[in-house]
Amino acid sequence: MTVTIRSFAKINLGLRIGAAREDGFHELLTVYQTIGLRDVVQVSVGRGNGIEIQCTDSRVPKDQSNTCCRIVEKAMAALRAKGRVVIDIEKRLPVQGGLGGASSNAVAALLGLERALKKTLPAEERLRIAAEVGSDLPLFLVGGTVLGVGRGEQVYPLEDLPGLACVVVTPEVGVSTPKAFAEWDRKLTLPAASDRMNELGRGFSAWLSQMYSGAPFRRGRRENPLLELVRAGIKNDFEEVVFPEYPELSEGKSALERAGAKYASLSGSGSTLYGLFTSKEAARGAEARLRKQGWAAQATVTLPRRGYWKRIFR
Ligand code: C5P
């Protein structure tokens, strides 16, 4: 049996880098949001043993280092299952793009494997295995609007934002996440790392409660989540180290803003940029305008949790 899974992308709505830890990771605070752009992952289990990765994109590793291989190996052991697992990845998302493509592919492989074997792991064990493979995997086991803390692997579902119109720009640059963290340490380690984390924490809290607690004349307005996001001054720290190295990414953010984005940002460590718009029409207009200017732009929507889980299996 072959199981087909939609492997959706994420963006980061704000990201703050905290102190470097003894284990080589950094403390992190971010809000992840799943979006409609996706890869497609197919999983089948047959006789024999081993794991095979099929993908026509030469940048995707086909060996043991592939995140799908790593998670399937762990899941097969945990499920005490045997067989040859073949994973086919139809790559549409950028590689090293800050959209969590490889992480999402791994979670899709895990979900597909469980279906193919007709066996499931307890939810806690899925989360544990996912976190062992990478900091950005567990969010895809929650979906929708997700708070990420720790090194980004500790995830909590937040009240979902409504589906927001979004344009994603994918420049042809691959940014290495470990290098971006190292650059942050070299250039910008600030003494009061925990104060900065607390500051963004307050920003998130103010932003997400404003719809209910804000001044009565503002309450209930449709554009509130977007306006409050801007007002709360929520930003992605990676822009500080990635934009100076790749000035075209900073230009991409400005291009999104000029095309009408109410909020624009780098996603993760990049190179993907996104803009949030007040309507689908505005996003489609921006997509056309940006393409004319030579940017690889795609209009999509943010995916709340229910829609995410409904659309994963097809
Ligand atoms: O967890 P993941 O495999 O995505 O991490 C890749 C690398 O990025 C880590 O080895 C580490 O160098 C860096 N990283 C970090 N702090 C985080 C997440 C990742 O320093 N919170």
DSSP symbol at 138: G
Pocket perturbation via mutation, ligand 1, pick of 26, 32, 185 by most ligand atoms within 8 A of CB: 26
- Phi then psi dihedrals of residue 116, to 5 deg: -65, -35
Residue 16 Cβ < 6 Å to ligand 1: no
DSSP symbol at 313: B
Query: Residue 217's pLDDT is what?
Result: 57
SS3 145: strand
β partners of residue 166: 276, 300
Task: Tokens for 150, please give them.
Answer: 């720790």
DSSP string for residues in 80-109:
T--SEEEEEEE--SPTTSSS-HHHHHHHHH
d(CA 251, CA 245): 12
Residue at token pair 């971010």: 30
Which atom of ligand 1 approaches the CA of 17 most closely? 21
DSSP symbol at 139: G
- The residues annotated as belonging to the active site are 10, 136
Q: Whose CA is nearest to atom 21 of ligand 1?
A: 151
Query: Residue 227's pLDDT is what?
Result: 74
Pocket perturbation via mutation, ligand 1, pick of 68, 135, 236 by most ligand atoms within 8 A of CB: 135
Helices H, strands E: what count in the chain? 10, 10
Which atom of ligand 1 approaches the CA of 151 most closely? 21
Residue 233 Cβ < 6 Å to ligand 1: no
Task: Tokens for 40, please give them.
Answer: 């497609």
d(CA 191, CA 182): 16
Per-residue model confidence as pLDDT tens digits over 64-121: 999 999 999 999 999 999 999 999 999 999 887 899 999 999 999 999 999 999 999 9
CB 24 within 8 A of CB 131: no
Per-residue model confidence as pLDDT tens digits over 250-279: 999 999 999 999 999 999 999 999 999 999
CB 55 within 8 A of CB 121: no
Per-residue model confidence as pLDDT tens digits over 158-191: 999 999 999 999 998 888 999 999 999 887 666 6
